[in-house]
Structure formats: C-alpha cells, structure tokens
C-alpha cells in the first residue's frame, strides 16, 4: 500500500460476535483470549489464551470465522492445542516457568506458531518469545536482549504484567516486531490520567538480532478511576500494515467505585520514517530522541457498539470480495463475570473509497 494511501485509510465495522462466557470446549475453559491470527494456508484462525494455566493449561484454539463485507455471522471453535515447554510438559500454574501468553502469530514461511509471554515480575520470570509447532509443541526460543530481563530490584527492565503484548511479522516474513505494553522502569513512569508514557517497539530478525527499536508515545489514561481504584493505558497489540507503517492498539481500562472496568480502545497508524532508532539507548528517561508518529485510525468509543470490552488481539483476515483487507479484534474477558469474549470484524477502506 503506497504511503499516501496508507496514511488516509480508515476502518469500517462489519459486525460483532461473542463466545459464551466460560464456555467449556474439549475439556478446557474458553476465555482470556489475548492473541489472534489468521492462517491463510488453511483458512483457520488461531486464538491464544493468557490463562496462566489456572483454569486450563496454557493453550490456543483454532476456529473458523464466517464474515464478509456485509455481515459477521459466526465463530466456530474447531480444536484446542496446549503450548508445551522444551521437555514436552505443559506450562505450570505455579512453580517453574508460568506462561502469560499475550500474542500469537502464524509463521508465514512454514505455518509454525510464534507466541509471546509477558513473564511475571512477582515470580521473577522474564518475558519471552517462543516458536511452537502447529500442535503447540516446543520448537525454539527467540534470544532476548538483556534490556528485557526481569530485575528483582525493579530498577530496570519490564514492569510486572506490562511487558510483551504485541507481536507481528514483517510483510516479507523475514523479521518480527515486538511491542511493549508500557515503559521499562528506566524509560519513565507509566501513563496516568494527566500524562502519557512511552513504550518500545523492537524489530528482530529470525535469529534474534535486533534490527531496529523505536519509542512509541502512549496516550494518557482515558478517564479518571474512582478513589482507590485502578486506571491504565498501554499497547495491547501491534500489526504490520506495510514496510513503513504499523498499527498499534491502545487499551485503557478505568475502574469505577464498585471495581467495574470501562475500556477505551483506540487504533493508531504508526509511521516508522523519521523516528530515532533507540536500540542503543539503555534508558529513554532524559534521552534525546524522536518518537514514532501516530495518527488515530479508529476510536471504539464512537463505534456504536453496546459494549466495548478489553480488546487485546488483532489480526488481518482474508481479503473481502471487493479486494479490501479485513481485520479482526478479540477481547480478553479475564474470566470475569463483568466482561465478555468479543470478536469484531472490520473492513479497511482505502483512501479512494
């Protein structure tokens, strides 16, 4: 897509489907869907759960999504696969390396599955990116820079539950982009209702070599939480549009006095040109750099939906009959009775439409 067309593109909502709350499928509890991707070879969709093996072992589902430019008709689960460690065992709920899987991608070269876990600062576990076979069996791990290792003193490195959230392949499949949800400790404070923050987007080659790294400017928290309650804003997924542009999904959650969350979701188009490569910056706080530029592509507050939930996964889908690209988002219900598993289908409208 030419730069001018990309910069003027927009999204149109096709429709919504939901998966029943805590649906039991093939002996597992469906929920926590934090990553989604489309396999063009098979026409199937992969949806990964961020369940830390508390309800069922760490896993991903394959599904069929029935939609076109006019209507989103159905979501049909087909199978569930368990992610496995190098020794063949499933990830534990406690003790050992607990997985918190936040993103999943189908390898465009061989159909294997890549997934990102944001680790756990509370458990002293660093985030990771790993490659699995189509059945979830372990294949390899992507080497990570020391920048992303957990620091028990919490002076550097990723914050607990605020690290690897976005994963996407470049158009040629030769490199991957990894998106941080929020700042590293040394990159500055997290977003508040008064000010935004900065996270890092990193491009790796398939061997784990860092090709580039950029600072992404985060919005402030979209609202003010009730006294003593929680509010945040961060990147919940990324996607590659073309060689010069990414998409970034920002998710802001704000609690009311009763503890219920309202989610404010915005999708941005991100331009790579002109931004400083910050791979050589051990800390962004106080550093001199040019962050990525972004343009609002979609504000879900204005989408006309009855409910906008905790959208965390995003993927391109098959081309529509008119030749336009389709895009699907999925929400993580956190296995909470207050939230839903929501899938939204969109059409990408080029500048001329």
We report the CATH number of the domain holding residue 336 as 2.115.10
Domain enclosing residue 158, as ranges? 3-349
Sheet containing strand 59-67, strands side by side: 33-39, 44-49, 59-67, 72-82
Overall domain count for the chain: 1
Phi first, then psi, for residue 123 (nearest 5°) are: -100, 0
The Cβ of residue 40 has, within 10 Å, a number of other Cβ atoms equal to: 13
Q: Please spell the DSSP secondary structure of 54-103, one letter per residue.
A: SSS-SEEEEEEEEE-SS-EEEEEEEEEEE-B-TTSPBPPSSSS----EEE
Classify residue 232 as exposed, middle or buried by CB count within 10 Å of its CB (0-12, 13-18, 19+): buried
CB atoms within 10 A of CB 306: 5
Instruction: Spell out the per-residue pLDDT of the chain, length 353, in tens.
Output: 555 556 678 999 999 999 999 999 999 999 999 999 999 999 999 999 999 999 999 999 999 999 999 999 999 999 999 999 999 999 999 999 999 999 999 999 999 999 999 999 999 999 999 999 999 999 999 999 999 999 999 999 999 999 999 999 999 999 999 999 999 999 999 999 999 999 999 999 999 999 999 999 999 999 999 999 999 999 999 999 999 999 999 999 999 999 999 999 999 999 999 999 999 999 999 999 999 999 999 999 999 999 999 999 999 999 999 999 999 999 999 999 999 999 999 999 987 65
Half-sphere exposure for 30 (CA within 13 Å, toward CB)? 23
Eight-class DSSP state of 320 = P
């Amino acid at each position: 897509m030419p730069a001018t067309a990309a910069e003027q593109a927009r999204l149109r909502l096709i429709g919504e489907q939901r998966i029943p709350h805590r649906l039991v499928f093939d002996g597992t509890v469906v929920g926590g869907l934090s990553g989604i991707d489309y396999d063009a070879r098979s026409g199937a969709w992969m949806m990964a759960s961020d369940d830390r093996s508390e309800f069922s072992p760490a896993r991903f589902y394959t599904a069929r999504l029935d939609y076109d430019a006019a209507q989103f008709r159905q979501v049909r689960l087909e199978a569930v696969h368990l992610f496995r460690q190098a020794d063949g065992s499933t990830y534990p709920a406690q003790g050992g390396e607990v997985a918190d899987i936040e993103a999943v991608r189908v390898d465009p070269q061989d159909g294997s599955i890549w997934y990102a876990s944001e680790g756990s600062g509370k458990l002293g576990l660093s985030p990771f990116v790993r490659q699995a076979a189509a059945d979830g069996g372990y294949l390899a791990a992507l080497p990570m820079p020391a920048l992303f290792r957990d620091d028990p003193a919490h002076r550097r490195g990723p914050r607990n539950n605020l690290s690897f959230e976005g994963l996407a392949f470049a158009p040629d499949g030769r490199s991957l982009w990894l998106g941080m949800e929020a700042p590293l400790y040394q990159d500055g404070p997290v977003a508040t209702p008064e000010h935004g923050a900065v996270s890092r987007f990193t491009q790796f080659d398939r061997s784990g070599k860092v090709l580039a790294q950029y600072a992404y400017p985060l919005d402030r928290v979209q609202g003010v939480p009730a006294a003593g309650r929680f509010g945040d804003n961060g990147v919940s997924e990324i996607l590659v549009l073309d060689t010069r542009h990414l998409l970034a999904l920002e998710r802001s959650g704000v609690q009311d006095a009763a503890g219920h969350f309202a989610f404010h979701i915005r999708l941005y188009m991100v331009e790579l040109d002109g931004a400083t490569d910050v791979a050589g910056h051990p800390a962004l706080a106080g550093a001199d750099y040019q962050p990525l530029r972004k343009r609002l592509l979609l504000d879900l507050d204005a989408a006309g939906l009855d409910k906008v939930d905790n959208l965390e996964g995003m993927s391109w889908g098959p081309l529509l009959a008119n030749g336009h690209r389709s895009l699907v988002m999925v929400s993580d219900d956190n296995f909470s009775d207050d939230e839903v598993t929501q899938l939204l289908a969109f059409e990408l409208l080029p500048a001329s439409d």
